[in-house]
Structure 1
Amino acid sequence: MSTRTNLILTAAAGSAAMLLGAWGFQYIGEMAPCKMCYWQRYPHAAAFVIGILAIFTPGRWLPLLGGLAALATSGIGFYHTGVERGWWEGPSTCTSGPIGGLTPEQLMEQIMTAPLTRCDEVPWELFTLSMASWNALISLGLAAIWFAAARASR
């Protein structure tokens, strides 16, 4: 297997691991994600798909795109960290579950029992870093791996 392929597999697996970790915190740890937590997941999903495509597609543009996806989630993670630490304000809205097919009574019950998940509170941390902070740092590393894969694509 080529260096390029190994780097792409590593970066794509890193994004997959980050998504699995997020889902683990959400579904096993019962920590409802906030709006910005969801925002951080989308670039990881894109990077994973890009990784699958890049394995079978020669050239540098897909690894570069994967690197940009990793940088995007890292940037959102740093922004989220700033919100958590009170450096700046975050979004003023919260998230909710799907509402399709509900009666007005069921919708009101869902609204009244939905957990309020604030973007400016830290539900979990390790070594004083929140999940958003860890995502920001790890994603920077993943971006470096993507860009190394692009360089190996010459």
Structure 2
Amino acid sequence: MMSSLMVAGLAAAAPLIALGSERWPGLAPCALCLWQRWPYWVAAALAVAAALLPARWRVWALRAAGLAVLVSGAIAVLHVGVEQGWWPSPLPACQAPPVAAGASVDDLLRSLNPAPNKPCDEATYLIPGLPLSMAMMNLIYAAGLAAFVFSRAARRV
């Protein structure tokens, strides 16, 4: 039960740190950055559920939490590839809006999003001088957390 709550805290820490990096240093997230956060919330909820479930279901809930963390890691792989120019982003929010031939400036302004978005192919670095983007740091964290979660589940928490 204690390790389930620890997993919940570690899963919730990732999106909370990302939110904090928006508020404190003022880093702007892109659409893929926002997508990477949702699986952590799912993992945190599943880990809390694992703590409340009977022992025979606890392992399965923890494994499901580990899978949710791996989903965030998979999105991070996609994001790193977009940042490195290996492939384009599949999300329409990451791409420039189409411009019709002969569109006026007013038409162009109306086609823009109400809030400015950061392009998904522009890497964001939290620590100056460290060549790891936020997406790459999330990938590393997700891999480590998933390994931890699966090791806890293997011990039949």
Give the alignment's TM-score, normalised by structure 2. 0.78
Q: Which runs of 5+ in 2 are unaligned?
A: 95-108
Structure 1 counterpart of 2:123: 122
Structure 1 counterpart of 2:90: 91
Structure 2 counterpart of 1:67: 66
Q: Which whole-Å CA distance do the structure 2 matches of 1:70 and 1:92 have between them?
A: 20
For the 8 Å contact 2:73–2:143, the answer to whether it is kept is: yes
Structure 2 counterpart of 1:80: 79
Q: Which runs of 5+ in 1 are unaligned?
A: 96-107
Higher relative contact order (CA 8 A, sep 6+): 1
SS in 2 for 1:114: coil
Q: Which whole-Å CA distance do the structure 1 matches of 2:126 and 2:23 have between them?
A: 17
Q: Aligned partner of 1:75: which letter?
A: A
- Cα-Cα RMSD: 2.2
Runs ≥4 residues deviating over 4 A: 108-113
* Alpha-carbon shift at residue 114 of structure 1 (Å): 2.4
* Higher Cα radius of gyration: 2
Alignment size in residue pairs = 138
For the 8 Å contact 1:34–1:119, the answer to whether it is kept is: yes
Give the alignment's TM-score, normalised by structure 1. 0.79
* Alpha-carbon shift at residue 33 of structure 1 (Å): 1.5
Q: Aligned partner of 1:91: which letter?
A: P
* Alpha-carbon shift at residue 52 of structure 1 (Å): 0.8
